Amino acid sequence: MNDLPDNPEIQRGGAFPHDPYSTNFHSHGLNVSPEGLLDNPFRHMLPGSTHDVVIKLPDDHACGTFWYHPHKHGSIAMPFFGGMYGLLIVTRCSDGLESVPEVAAAKEHVMILGSIRTDQSGDVPLYNEDATEFSDGDAGLWSSYTDGLLFMTNNGLTDQTLFMRPGEVQRWRLLNAAAGLNKLVSLEGHSLHLLANDGLTLKKMKTLEVEEPFVLGAGNRLDVLIQAGELGVYLLQVADPIGIKLSASATGIDPDTRRSRVGGDFPSPDYPVTLATVIVSEEEMSMSLPSGDLPESDGLPSMETMLNTEPAEIRNVGFESCGGEQTDENRLPSCGWYYEEYDTDYWGGIDFENLLMMRNEDDQGEDNPDDDLAMPQINYTTEGLFARSEPMFEMAAGSIEEWTVYNYTFSDHPFHIHTNAFLLTEVNGTELEIPQWHDTVVVPAATGVRGGGNINDATPGSITFKTYFNPEYSGEILMHCHIITHEDIGMM
């Protein structure tokens, strides 16, 4: 039921964010149809209206940690600022993680890590209808949030306390529900024992070093076991992404320290941020951690099938960014052409300088005779910003394909695709020791040149995966950056 206020009568129009109080319902990670009353992100639920969402889970759906949130294009960010999301747990499959005795014995806690964002008076105001750029500066889309408040929440609170007994093993279901902030999560004095990414089990439990943070990208879930150490007080924290040397990521491959992880939410929090105070007290418990293989998630082809099947298609996608502090010399060759395409009319009568794009990288355009990157002679044929009428790819139902997503920007962008999870095989061209299922993965920023340098001289970050398009759930499938503020302006 949508009880949000009426949409403003006069709106800027074009592709600019619009209908801020319309909504709909996305079941993030569920392997169900993207059409009809199911996981359909194209529905438009107006303020004052009530709608059914009916989702039938298949008999063999994976057990795990999924979530729900609105997905009305052009109006997703504000509900995220307000905490409008929740967890979807599919549980008690006889062959799920619960069949592992050590996991079944562990007490469970849900931790929804939000980033509530308001103006100075605690309100969630509208974006700036006259914005000419993506920022929280005066001319920015988010100018109404300048000097605003950011609450880094755990289940809606900023001051949580959790008790454990020495030796106790608990299962925590973490969700990063931030509109854009990737979070480096760690627990003082303890290791994270990783069980599942995005609700889908790892082949084997993976134990990080003591206090080694895990990069939980916006939209990611992590099922993790914690075994409490000695009596004491330990903080569950989000670490400062600046200056941290770590190999931790969903994949274990991520050698670079990057300022870029800060991007996407304004303002940045004061790191480290405490998500919970964990107090280990009382008498000791004798519990153990699992060893050996974890059960494979249901509802997906086996890892062997995925890896041994020749891909029906190989496709390349790029996250690209035009605008900001770029000059004619240091921007991507695509920018010139796309600036012509996305002009004043496109943005509803006012120029908008930041193009945050998701592009078909197999569309190479035509040569630029001048070698001048600012000139629009390079004629790309596909859209860079979201256009429902022009799908980027058409995949055959039932096929297995291999995709690489490149990041031609100096900040991280989490890639998410609806309906079907994918088997991640490479990050930055390095093969994973054991591939992992995901529905959302941070595509690392470009490296080799410092941010603000010439992106054309940098090495793009990349992820490579194989994916199976389950023919039961064909239809229009969205993919986008899970920094919601990027998605709302077309990075989809």
Which two structure tokens, joined as six digits, stand for 33?
A: 């149809």
In the complex with another protein, which residue's Cβ is closer, 78 or 458? 78
Asked if 78 and 19 touch (Cβ cutoff 8 Å), the reply is no
Asked if 123 and 148 touch (Cβ cutoff 8 Å), the reply is no
Q: Of the candidates 139, 163, 364, 472, which one interacts with another protein according to CB under 8 A?
A: 163
Q: Of the candidates 8, 36, 122, 232, which one interacts with another protein according to CB under 8 A?
A: 122
Q: What are phi and psi of 465, to 5 degrees?
A: -145, 165
Rounded Cα distance between 300 and 313, Å, is: 19
In the complex with another protein, which residue's Cβ is closer, 78 or 357? 78
Q: Which residue is nearest to Cu ion (CB)?
A: 481
Which two structure tokens, joined as six digits, stand for 32?
A: 């169900």
In the complex with Cu ion, which residue's Cβ is closer, 200 or 481? 481
Residue 54 binding another protein, by CB under 8 A: yes
Asked if 146 and 199 touch (Cβ cutoff 8 Å), the reply is no
Q: Of the candidates 11, 155, 399, 430, which one interacts with another protein according to CB under 8 A?
A: 155
In the complex with another protein, which residue's Cβ is closer, 275 or 355? 275
SS3 69: strand
Residue 52 binding another protein, by CB under 8 A: yes
Closest contact distance (angstroms) between CB of 264 and Cu ion is 7
Rounded Cα distance between 242 and 225, Å, is: 27
Q: Of the candidates 33, 153, 249, 321, which one interacts with another protein according to CB under 8 A?
A: 153
The residue among 61, 55, 63, 50 whose CA lies nearest residue 35 is 55
Residue 424 contacts which entry, another protein, Cu ion, none (Cβ below 5-8 A, type-dependent) = none
Q: Which residues lie below 8 Å from residue 290, measured CB to CB, with a gap of 6+?
A: 100, 101, 102, 103, 205, 225
In the complex with another protein, which residue's Cβ is closer, 84 or 477? 84
Residue 156 binding another protein, by CB under 8 A: yes
Closest contact distance (angstroms) between CB of 272 and Cu ion is 24
Contacting residues toward Cu ion, per CB under 5 A = 413, 481, 483, 486
Rounded Cα distance between 51 and 38, Å, is: 11
Q: Of the candidates 7, 42, 43, 110, which one interacts with another protein according to CB under 8 A?
A: 110
Residue 288 binding another protein, by CB under 8 A: no
User: What are the Cα distances from residue 158, in Å, to 104, 152, 192, 354?
Assistant: 29, 6, 21, 33
Residue 87 binding another protein, by CB under 8 A: yes
Residue 25 contacts which entry, Cu ion, another protein, none (Cβ below 5-8 A, type-dependent) = another protein
SS3 376: coil
The residue among 222, 122, 220 whose CA lies nearest residue 180 is 220
DSSP letters, 231-258, are: SEEEEEEEEPSTT-----SSSS------
The residue among 82, 97, 210 whose CA lies nearest residue 148 is 82
Region near another protein per CB under 8 A, out of 73-81, 256-264, 285-293, 357-365? 73-81
In the complex with another protein, which residue's Cβ is closer, 101 or 448? 101
Residue 60 binding another protein, by CB under 8 A: yes
Handedness of CA 28, 31, 33, 37 (dihedral sign): negative
H/E segment holding residue 161: strand 161-164
In the complex with Cu ion, which residue's Cβ is closer, 194 or 356? 356
Within residues 5-44, the interface with another protein by CB under 8 A covers 5, 21, 23, 25, 27
Q: Of the candidates 41, 70, 199, 219, which one interacts with another protein according to CB under 8 A?
A: 70
Region near another protein per CB under 8 A, out of 159-167, 239-247, 306-314, 443-451? 159-167
Residue 158 binding another protein, by CB under 8 A: yes
Within residues 257-286, the interface with another protein by CB under 8 A covers 270, 273-274, 276, 282
Closest contact distance (angstroms) between CB of 449 and Cu ion is 19
Region near another protein per CB under 8 A, out of 117-125, 257-265, 313-321, 324-332? 117-125
Rounded Cα distance between 67 and 45, Å, is: 19
Residue 301 binding another protein, by CB under 8 A: no
Residue 151 binding another protein, by CB under 8 A: yes
